[in-house]
Structure 1
């Protein structure tokens, strides 16, 4: 099995992790190092140095392996490890047999070896590694002195137990179940004995305190303990009240002397029992009494450089009230400090205090109450309040304050996050031209596909190329071409041509057509549509789809004529964007016949579909007339298809004369094979041996212009068209 080691900081955030392949039994951590042990392996992990790890097996031989230095066991250990303790300079390992191994850090060299007459359960080093507390499995606590390696061999600690050995003053306590050394005093330690907490200073006990908590830390003369029994009753919802803080006797006595006797007696007591925490109490009391000389001395003794600087600042103030206000602020009594400033009519100092605290809500209140601020400071306060809501992702509230603070940059971010693009667009008009913020807003519009707004922002910055690139990116080629013509940007045509070529090479013809349409290149889009329709007709695709393609091509031609007419009719702007857009490419001009007869293909397939609908509707007369009309479109539809349809509908319409002429055309098709021609001849022979190739009489047609009567037939149809056009 593999296990994960994770080092976390004080707020529970993981700092670094490692994977190990043994089961950890005990662990200890220092400021920069972690020691994890199984029964016979100790992992030394220097977690603040990347890749620095050592895996050691105490009964094995050294073996190098990559980034790790490991010791591979010769055989499983018969004396397992039961506890670890470490400081910055020393590591002590306790084994089940009572053996204690003292290693020097960071070299991991063995300094001393000790032998205890009992089985240890837990060990703990003090802060300077001079003493070791050992707790056995029966709850017996003993203290031992540790020594460094002596010249030429092991130190006195190598002695076995006897005659007091290296035990400290025959110290011994029973029924102990938890212990902790102070982190800042090697003579101070605490332990739990039954339900009482004992604190010892150099083997002198203080009064026991009733407590059943587990000791978490011991520093600054204060113990932090956790009431684990109560915590485990509701582990998912622990309360802060279950963490208790207990002060040592010296700390409590100092507070009592300061409160009941005086500063001088407290100073004497602290000099007799020096500790940085006690000197800090003296410094605070001296500040409260404005005794700066004593405060300075106390800050020096406790090593508080910030406090010294604060005393220096206080001495420069010329008013005791100002000094009291600053001291109140130092003691986190901000309401009192503000009240003092207001009492001496120094609202500006009260505002400055709130600014230092970051309390911008109160700053606004003080400014609005009159005096002590100006419009610039008020705008800064509004913006700071906006930042407060922005950091907490309350965008709508942030917008209100940014608007009052006229912070356009932050407003744009909030509008973008809120997806309020209408308000974001209005900001573009309120920003001066060539402002760098316009480019940022344009980029926001691009990300959401709002081309027109992005182009407007880029144009206001004077960056035409970025505006055109945006149109190309968002596939708005018509806008891109218009901008290119207005601003005489010549690269757009080559870009358009190269992109269209790419689409055609990938056989994405419809995409290329859409590209040309958006760029108003109507000739090229119509030409591609005409080609698609023609290819579909040759491949016998769906006639309705072919008709639609011809209609689209014709519409593009109509749009081409319309745009050309508009361009030529414009005298106010002879060099407008449309003039350049509609300039005809002589080398690629489409056929003039298609330009003049754009609807011819659509008409052909319209009649083709109409004839079939009439045929299936059993309207044979109309079907024959429509099929006869199709003979004008042999250049669009395959003649074999036209005359086959004409032969079919005329046969069922008993127009055998027209049917005979259709068969004559089918037999004379230039590309027909002999087998096909023979099939047509045999079919015609079978039909016309039964039915003579004569059309019925008295089938006249009415003139659509003058309501006169015309003789039926294909020639009559031609005459009817001339009659409709001329009236003659």
Structure 2
């Protein structure tokens, strides 16, 4: 099974696979798909998605729900007895668990746990649920309606209603003061929660009496901004009702067999799902029916019969912003810009006032018509008035790819027209933003946009396409070097890909070095060199234990290899954590093990040079650079890198005495080691030197030391060999 996310504005569709789908619920820009757990048929999975179907979060629930609802912060599901509340978008002042679950019969014993017992073998007592940002309502079989506060789930009130209703759908209005139900037999009932609560303030239980009742109703929706207005579909007609103290007024009824999409002060919209399944190729905008409200219909009749001036009195009587806005649009449509300007002044609509001023300044009537059509969003009329380039920009600003293609097909411009090439490029950008790389590549090729074509080919791993692009561009250009670098990174043969001479030579040398390195690493004598430093350190510790236990080699320090790798790894960790002071000192200790062939000695001195440069220990940096220049481990192919070290040394320390940077002072124990090679003890946990007056702990297995203050705070085992160390806390 698949679920389609369809943008009704851009007509963009995203299809998402959703196996074992039970229901889809939504709130604002978030969607939750309720799916049955394939491993446990009495459980479900809540999949939180964004507006294009991308999964944000998953939540496994130990019940299989029969009723569910969702708002901007909570997802509530129930199987009839157990209610599960998922706080998927926590409020700022909420610090509790994101999962709340409880049995309705045990409402005083609410627990914040992740799993619960299944209620599949018990009689369901809850029929439907509805929620807002602060309230949760649960309708039960016995005719009671429980009101909980969210997110703490404290029972606040209990209402009673006719138990014969047996609601299957509950919905709250925008102010959470009225509740509507659709029963099992299709009856619509609307209740006033605020009125019943105020009557019985001394009691926690009150009886609900319906304000409105309708038969054969199968869908309903509350108004977005008017808490007294509700829309519903009764049989094959859509109706709207205004609830008031004087009585309920039926606004209108129109023939409709769709599903309610939205209700607001100006209109009610419904979508024809049956037509979508039968004609999925159609645009979504053609499958949405819009019904204007009764007030707007009366306003339109008043404008047609009496004119705009007389309709102002009708607008003053109702005095709603949407009525004044509709009157302004009608005035613009009739080219009565002076009346429209007064309406925008009343609404304090700065954009509308600017439009009126701009339209009044147009001397040509055709240009004024184009401005008006664009403001009224009559884009087809505006396109017919605009010239070719303006019509293209209009459709491109709307991301209307089909409109752009239609304009291009109908145009009589040559293929070398600048506007046409720009249009192809913009269409490619639209598809690129939608992650449709093949379509974007097609339009980029029409626009001859080689850089964007190369980017699409990289994303598609289309090396033949990159080869074709490379053959059509000039050598030594930035794009050619970029494409050659891509081929080089993938190890492509230069003769096959027509790379430049420089990149061809470098690629051949790199590939030969790669083959030689692989052969050497695969040889029996160098298997450990291919392993990670952490694995090698663990193996060396095991080897040292074995040598120490069996006393295989006398007079040899079995822990020297392990200590070298330990300090080497520790220095890198300190570097990545941003602790350059400890990194430099640990790397200095690591350089003591230059005779141990377990890592490249250059890496140690590079660490010392890097950390000392940032810490402004220029004397240490000078020694590190000199050491890097004099090492014998450089290959002939690395002469360029060696020359860069020499240039850096000359650039920093070849200055005059006045221009030389000041150097920070290092402790004497490190200076003596760097100058004379005097070794010292270092802490295995931090890599820092252990001075004569510093209390330390010694490991009985590897005989390495650790500062006592560090051992007290952090560990009770040796950082090198992981043996237990007895801490003395005196």
TM-score (norm: length of structure 2): 0.52
Distance 1:180 1:497 in 2: 72
Which secondary structure does the structure 2 equivalent of 1:155 belong to?
coil
> Any idea what the Cα deviations from partners look like across 1:167-213, whole Å, max 9, x if unmatched?
36x64445544433222211111334445443211211134444455
Contact 1:59 1:74 in 2 (8 A): no
Distance 1:402 1:249 in 2: 51
Q: How far 1:384 sits from its partner (Å)?
A: 3.4
Q: Which residue of 2 aligns with 1:575?
A: none
Distance 1:9 1:397 in 2: 29
Q: Which residue of 1 aligns with 2:295?
A: 250
Q: Which residue of 2 aligns with 1:179?
A: 220
What pairs with 1:55-454 in structure 2 (closer than 5 Å)?
55-60=101-106, 61-62=108-109, 68=114, 80-122=125-167, 123-137=170-184, 140-147=187-194, 155=201, 158-161=204-207, 167=209, 171-202=212-243, 203-225=248-270, 244-273=289-318, 275=320, 277-292=322-337, 294-295=339-340, 298=343, 307=352, 310-311=355-356, 314=359, 321-334=366-379, 336-337=381-382, 340=385, 353=394, 356=397, 380-381=422-423, 383-384=425-426, 387=429, 391=436, 393-394=438-439, 397-398=442-443, 400-403=445-448, 407-408=450-451, 410=453, 414=457, 417=462, 419-420=464-465, 423-427=468-472, 430-433=474-477, 435=478, 437-444=480-487, 446-447=489-490, 449-452=492-495
Q: How far 1:341 sits from its partner (Å)?
A: 5.2
RMSD between aligned alpha carbons? 5.0
Distance 2:321 2:368 in 1: 25
Change (3 A) 1:71 1:312: farther
Distance 2:118 2:329 in 1: 58
Selected match of 1:474 from 511, 515, 536: 511
Distance 1:216 1:366 in 2: 36
Does 1 or 2 have the higher relative contact order (CA < 8 Å, sep 6+)? 2
Question: Which of the pair has more CA radius of gyration?
Answer: 1
Q: How far 1:431 sits from its partner (Å)?
A: 4.0
TM-score (norm: length of structure 1): 0.52
Q: How far 1:447 sits from its partner (Å)?
A: 2.4
Distance 1:204 1:414 in 2: 63
Distance 1:190 1:326 in 2: 36
Distance 1:274 1:64 in 2: 50
> Any idea what the Cα deviations from partners look like across 1:306-335, whole Å, max 9, x if unmatched?
556645654666665433312212334445
Contact 1:412 1:424 in 2 (8 A): no
Distance 2:337 2:269 in 1: 32
Selected match of 2:500 from 439, 444, 457: 457
Distance 1:128 1:321 in 2: 47
Contact 1:62 1:71 in 2 (8 A): no
> Any idea what the Cα deviations from partners look like across 1:239-289, whole Å, max 9, x if unmatched?
977764444322333333344442234443344345554444223223334
> Any idea what the Cα deviations from partners look like across 1:26-67, whole Å, max 9, x if unmatched?
11222343221221222222333498332233332546556x
Distance 1:452 1:313 in 2: 62
List gaps (5 residues or longer) in structure 1: 460-465, 478-494, 509-579, 582-728
Change (3 A) 1:105 1:312: farther
Which secondary structure does the structure 2 equivalent of 1:206 belong to?
strand
> Any idea what the Cα deviations from partners look like across 1:636-689, whole Å, max 9, x if unmatched?
xxxxxxxxxxxxxxxxxxxxxxxxxxxxxxxxxxxxxxxxxxxxxxxxxxxxxx
What pairs with 1:540-619 in structure 2 (closer than 5 Å)?
none
Q: Which residue of 2 aligns with 1:21?
A: 62
Distance 1:499 1:157 in 2: 83
Contact 1:395 1:414 in 2 (8 A): no
Contact 2:172 2:222 in 1 (8 A): yes
Change (3 A) 1:24 1:458: farther
Change (3 A) 1:79 1:114: farther
> Any idea what the Cα deviations from partners look like across 1:502-527, whole Å, max 9, x if unmatched?
5665699xxxxxxxxxxxxxxxxxxx
Which secondary structure does the structure 2 equivalent of 1:283 belong to?
helix
Figure out how many residues of one structure are paired with residues of the other and give that number: 467
List gaps (5 residues or longer) in structure 2: 1-41, 92-96, 528-635, 638-730
Contact 1:277 1:302 in 2 (8 A): no
Distance 1:355 1:137 in 2: 49
Contact 1:28 1:86 in 2 (8 A): yes
Q: How far 1:395 sits from its partner (Å)?
A: 7.2
